[in-house]
Every structure is written in structure tokens, then in C-alpha cells.
């Protein structure tokens, strides 16, 4: 593992990052909830971009990986602020953003507010609005009561230790939903989704496809792939999706 660099946001949070200088459009990787920038997909794409001489950025949201703050204190809005700050401070020109799981939601939020910077998107098991449509919608009455009483509940995960879901995460998530209002994406978008994903359903992927206003949006369902989407064939599909998006950039 190479040593990370750090940058302080306007909100006083310290973000860890790795940045590879190169030609544009830059590729930016946005990771998922409780993941970090040392994951297989991020490391693979960094090496792939370096081999092409293309600019690349990976970083940890606050409360994730090597960045400051505790995970339980963060929320969708905080991580959107982290994303906007990192991309503004550490990249130049047009961007191809690769968002995995919660990073897909973050990519959509960035595109909604900074469409002038986005040349295209690639999503991998994108999880827009998961705090509302996933967690809140599945909570039992007892869990909702515990959330109101204690400010947090513990949720199991098929992929890592249990998540601590806070009332702030749920309430803040409602301020950042992207599937309830128009979602213009005026650039190429490629969405990848595994059929054996137990964290994000294919129905979510189809809902995003049907909801977004995009002139060039495609969804690829990969039979047998799970939420990690990080074996050799899946990594190749991510590369292919990025190349498809880059071909659309004038």
C-alpha cells in the first residue's frame, strides 16, 4: 500500500487520497458505504489509467478508510460535500466518474449539481436513495422505535461487519434523494449490475434506467455477478464501460 496524501475540506474534515496526474478526461472512482479506496476496483482502475497516461483520482470519504471522522457521524450530505470538494481541488477539466454502490448515488448527486464537469458516468451496482428505499422501507416497527429512541440501529451486511445506521443518516438521506425528481444526465451513462447482488437489486438498476433523462444510457445485467463486481471478467466490463463513455467525448 502506498502512502496517501491528505487534504482538508472547507468543513474541517481531512480526506485521504491518491492522485495520478495524466491526460483528461480524468477518471474518478467513488466507493461504496464503509468501503475504502484500497479496494480491488479502485486499485485496478488506477493501474489501468496509469498505463494509458490518464489522470485518475481515488479517495476516502470522511469516516471511511484513512480519512478523519467516525463513520457513525457521517451522512449522505457530508459525503457529497467531500466528493464535491475533492473533485474541485484535485482534478481539472471533464471527468468520467465511476461510482460503486453508494458511490453511484454520490456520482448522481455530483452530476446533478456539477453537470458542467461531467463527461460521463459509469455506475456499478448503483444504490441511489438506499437510505429511504432500502433501510427505512425495510425497518420493522421495533427498529424504527429503536432509531427514534437510541438514534441508531445495527444492520447486518453480507459483505462486512454490521452497519450502524443512524437517525441522522436516514433523515439527511431524504434531503438528497434522486429518484423522486427529474434527473437530467446529459452525457453517456453505463450502468453495470450483477444478478446475484444481495445488497442492490436489479429492480433498483432498472428503476434508475427508467427514471433518468439521458440521451445515451445503457444497463448491463451480468448473470452470476455479486455486489463486489471485482473478479477478472467484471473488471474487464468496467474498463469496457469507461472506454464506451470516453468514445462519446468530443
pLDDT of residue 250: 67
The cell 472506454 sits on which residue?
243
Q: Which pLDDT belongs to residue 88?
A: 97
**Of 125, 91, 134, residue with least CA distance to 205:** 125
Q: For the chain, which ranges sit under pLDDT 50?
A: none
3-class SS letters over 150-204: HCEEEECCCCCCCEEEEHHHHHHHCCCCCCCCCCECCCEEEEEEECCCCCCCHHH
User: Domains of the chain, with CATH numbers?
Assistant: 5-129+182-244 (3.40.50.1820)
Q: What 3-state class would DSSP assign to 22?
A: coil
Place of cell 491528505: 6
Q: What is the pLDDT of residue 1?
A: 64
pLDDT for the residue 160: 64
Burial of 30 (0-12, 13-18, 19+ CB in 10 A): buried
Helix, strand, or coil (residue 229): coil
Amino acid at each position: 500500500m502506498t502512502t496517501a496524501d491528505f487534504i482538508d475540506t472547507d468543513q474541517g474534515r481531512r480526506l485521504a487520497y491518491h492522485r495520478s496526474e495524466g491526460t483528461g478526461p480524468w477518471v474518478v472512482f467513488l466507493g461504496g458505504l464503509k468501503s475504502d479506496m484500497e479496494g480491488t476496483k479502485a486499485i485496478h482502475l488506477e493501474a489501468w489509467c496509469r498505463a494509458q497516461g490518464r489522470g485518475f483520482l481515488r479517495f476516502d470519504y470522511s469516516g471511511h478508510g484513512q480519512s478523519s471522522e467516525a463513520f457513525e457521524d457521517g451522512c449522505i450530505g457530508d459525503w457529497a460535500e467531500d466528493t464535491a470538494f475533492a473533485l474541485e481541488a484535485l482534478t481539472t477539466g471533464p471527468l468520467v466518474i465511476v461510482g460503486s454502490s453508494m458511490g453511484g448515488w454520490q456520482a448522481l448527486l455530483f452530476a446533478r449539481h456539477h453537470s458542467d464537469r461531467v463527461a460521463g458516468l459509469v455506475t456499478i451496482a448503483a444504490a441511489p436513495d438506499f437510505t429511504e428505499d432500502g433501510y427505512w422501507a425495510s425497518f420493522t416497527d421495533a427498529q424504527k422505535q429503536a432509531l427514534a429512541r437510541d438514534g441508531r440501529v445495527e444492520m447486518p451486511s453480507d459483505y462486512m461487519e454490521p452497519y450502524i445506521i443512524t437517525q441522522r443518516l436516514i433523515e439527511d438521506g431524504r434531503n438528497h434523494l434522486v429518484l423522486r425528481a427529474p434527473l437530467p444526465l446529459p452525457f453517456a451513462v453505463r450502468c453495470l449490475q450483477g444478478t446475484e447482488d444481495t445488497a442492490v437489486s436489479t429492480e433498483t438498476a432498472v428503476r434508475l434506467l427508467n427514471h433518468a433523462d439521458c440521451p445515451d444510457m445503457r444497463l448491463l445485467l451480468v448473470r452470476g455477478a455479486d455486489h463486489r463486481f471485482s473478479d477478472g471478467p467484471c473488471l474487464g466490463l468496467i474498463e469496457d464501460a469507461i472506454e464506451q463513455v470516453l468514445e462519446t467525448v468530443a
